[in-house]
């Protein structure tokens, strides 16, 4: 009986060991499946995070910086960076400029285990100033350059293949030039400009341009950049940004507002940039300076050391006395790139890009 009891006990122990081994095997197999499932889920999350970065890059397209990025250069997009908390996945995006308006956007994601995923897509980011006259002054009336006045065309830059004209007007007899005035650049006579309103002189709807404009309540203003605690205070109607190209690190350099005035407007000194639309007459005096695009339904008068760098488009006459207008396509493009309704990559219907990898 004792021998039989020992055999039974041995068999029982062997059964227990076999069951434990089977359980361990099942546990190992289940653990491997769980690890594989987690790896697959993490891989999927990596790709989704990379795709999210690319989507954000297109949605938050930095049009101003894109315009000045050289072909072959990289455009960082800080707004696309972030972290997926569940798997601690860091993601971000950048864009490489392949051509004048063609960019390769790369969305990338990485996990703490050094796993990576990348999404590539082509986007077309048109220059918002495409189709807009590149002349320093375009008027459907006349131009008068009085004493010490200067009008100069810009060079072939920011998408232009040839130097633009200095002036476009409907009739050569509408040009008045004093002996000590300066006009550098070509003149284009366009009879179709006769009597045209400012809305007819631009290639996009005026209301679209002004959809997010800041309305100026006063008829006289002296604008200037306002900085508080190292930040540009953009909520003030007197803050029109910092147009000085020698101050690239100023916090207000990238503040290019769209400003509108119903009625007449006079600038007595100060400086600003962006897009300025005036439904009445515009006067710049006292050394006032502006960079970007100026649109005026009435007359434009620059005097007493005033200056504009960019382009002036006016339905009325333009006159300069001891003042200057210098064509700058880059300044106009940058100003329009800051307009949400005009800037941003081309989005094909039903999709945001053409995926590459």
d(C-alpha 243, C-alpha 271), whole Å: 7
Q: Is 112 helix (H, G, I), strand (E, B) or coil?
A: coil
User: What's the confidence (pLDDT) of residue 314?
Assistant: 98
| Residue of 237, 219, 306, 216 lying closest to 270 (CA atoms) | 306
- The answer, yes or no, to whether residue 4 has pLDDT greater than 70, is no
Share the mean pLDDT of the chain: 87
User: What's the confidence (pLDDT) of residue 342?
Assistant: 83
d(C-alpha 111, C-alpha 98), whole Å: 29
- The answer, yes or no, to whether residue 37 has pLDDT greater than 60, is no
CB under 8 A, 24+ apart: contacts of 66-74: 66/95, 66/97, 66/103, 66/125, 66/337, 67/127, 67/158, 67/330, 67/333, 67/334, 67/337, 68/330, 68/334, 69/95, 69/97, 70/97, 71/97, 71/98, 71/99, 71/100, 72/96, 72/97, 72/98, 73/97
| Residue of 280, 285, 303, 294 lying closest to 219 (CA atoms) | 280
CA 321 to chain centre: 34
User: What's the confidence (pLDDT) of residue 353?
Assistant: 54
Q: Are 264 and 220 in contact (CB under 8 A)?
A: no
Average of per-residue pLDDT across 8-12: 62
* pLDDT digit string, tens, across residues 209-241: 998 899 999 999 999 999 999 999 998 999 999
User: What's the confidence (pLDDT) of residue 108?
Assistant: 93
Average of per-residue pLDDT across 19-38: 55
- The answer, yes or no, to whether residue 21 has pLDDT greater than 70, is no
* pLDDT digit string, tens, across residues 284-309: 999 999 999 999 999 999 999 999 99
d(C-alpha 155, C-alpha 161), whole Å: 9
pLDDT bin (cut points 50, 70, 90) of residue 96 is very high
| Residue of 258, 234, 218 lying closest to 338 (CA atoms) | 258
Alpha helices in the chain (DSSP H): 2-59, 63-68, 206-209, 329-337
Q: Are 137 and 312 in contact (CB under 8 A)?
A: yes
CA 210 to chain centre: 16
d(C-alpha 30, C-alpha 20), whole Å: 15
- The answer, yes or no, to whether residue 107 has pLDDT greater than 80, is yes
- The answer, yes or no, to whether residue 256 has pLDDT greater than 80, is yes
Sign of the Cα torsion 69, 90, 80, 43 reads positive
- The answer, yes or no, to whether residue 18 has pLDDT greater than 80, is no
User: What's the confidence (pLDDT) of residue 290?
Assistant: 98
CA 269 to chain centre: 28
Q: Is 188 helix (H, G, I), strand (E, B) or coil?
A: strand
pLDDT bin (cut points 50, 70, 90) of residue 101 is confident
Which residues are 302's β-sheet partners?
Answer: 284, 320
Q: Are 301 and 278 in contact (CB under 8 A)?
A: no
Most confident of 8-17, 20-29, 84-93, 162-171: 162-171
Q: Which two tokens stand for residue 237?
A: 């109607």
d(C-alpha 70, C-alpha 158), whole Å: 10
User: What's the confidence (pLDDT) of residue 64?
Assistant: 74
* pLDDT digit string, tens, across residues 165-174: 999 999 999 9
pLDDT bin (cut points 50, 70, 90) of residue 348 is low
User: What's the confidence (pLDDT) of residue 227?
Assistant: 94
* pLDDT digit string, tens, across residues 134-187: 999 999 999 999 999 999 998 888 878 888 999 999 999 999 999 999 999 999
User: What's the confidence (pLDDT) of residue 192?
Assistant: 95
Q: What is the DSSP string of 295-354?
A: EESS-EEEETT-EEEEEEEESS-EEEES-EEEE-HHHHHHHHHT-TTT-S-B--TT-S-E
| Residue of 153, 261, 263 lying closest to 213 (CA atoms) | 261
pLDDT bin (cut points 50, 70, 90) of residue 126 is confident
Whole-structure pTM value: 0.76
pLDDT bin (cut points 50, 70, 90) of residue 59 is confident
């Amino acid at each position: 009986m004792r021998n039989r009891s020992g055999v039974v006990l041995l068999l029982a122990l062997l059964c227990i060991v076999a069951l434990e081994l089977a359980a361990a095997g099942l546990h190992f197999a289940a653990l491997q499946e769980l690890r594989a499932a987690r790896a697959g889920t993490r891989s999927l999350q990596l790709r989704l995070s990379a795709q999210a970065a690319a989507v954000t890059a297109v949605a938050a397209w930095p049009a101003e910086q894109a315009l000045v990025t050289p072909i072959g250069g990289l455009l960082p997009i800080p707004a696309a960076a972030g972290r997926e908390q569940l798997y601690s996945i860091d993601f971000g995006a950048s864009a490489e400029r392949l051509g004048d308006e063609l960019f390769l956007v790369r969305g990338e994601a990485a996990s703490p285990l050094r796993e990576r995923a990348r999404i590539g897509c082509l986007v077309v980011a048109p220059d918002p100033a495409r189709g807009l006259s590149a002349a320093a002054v375009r008027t459907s009336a006349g131009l008068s350059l009085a004493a010490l006045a200067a009008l100069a065309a810009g060079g072939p830059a920011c998408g232009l293949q040839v130097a633009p004209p200095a002036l476009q007007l409907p009739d050569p007899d509408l040009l008045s030039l004093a002996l000590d005035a300066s006009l550098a650049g070509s003149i284009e006579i366009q009879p179709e400009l006769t009597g045209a309103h400012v809305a007819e002189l631009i290639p996009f709807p005026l209301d679209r341009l002004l959809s997010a404009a800041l309305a100026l309540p006063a008829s006289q203003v002296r604008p200037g950049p306002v900085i508080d605690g190292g930040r540009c205070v953009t909520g003030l109607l007197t803050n029109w940004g910092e147009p000085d190209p020698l101050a690239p690190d100023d916090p207000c350099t990238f503040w290019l507002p769209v400003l509108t005035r119903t009625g007449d407007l006079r600038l007595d000194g100060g400086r600003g940039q962006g897009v300025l639309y005036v439904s009445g007459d515009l006067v710049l005096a006292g050394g006032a300076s502006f960079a970007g695009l100026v649109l005026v339904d009435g007359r434009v008068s620059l005097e007493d050391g005033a200056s504009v760098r960019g382009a002036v488009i006016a339905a009325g006459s333009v006159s300069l006395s001891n003042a200057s207008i210098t064509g700058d396509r880059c300044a106009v493009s940058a100003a329009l790139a800051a307009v949400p309704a005009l800037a941003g990559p081309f989005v094909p219907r039903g999709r945001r890009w053409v995926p590459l990898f």
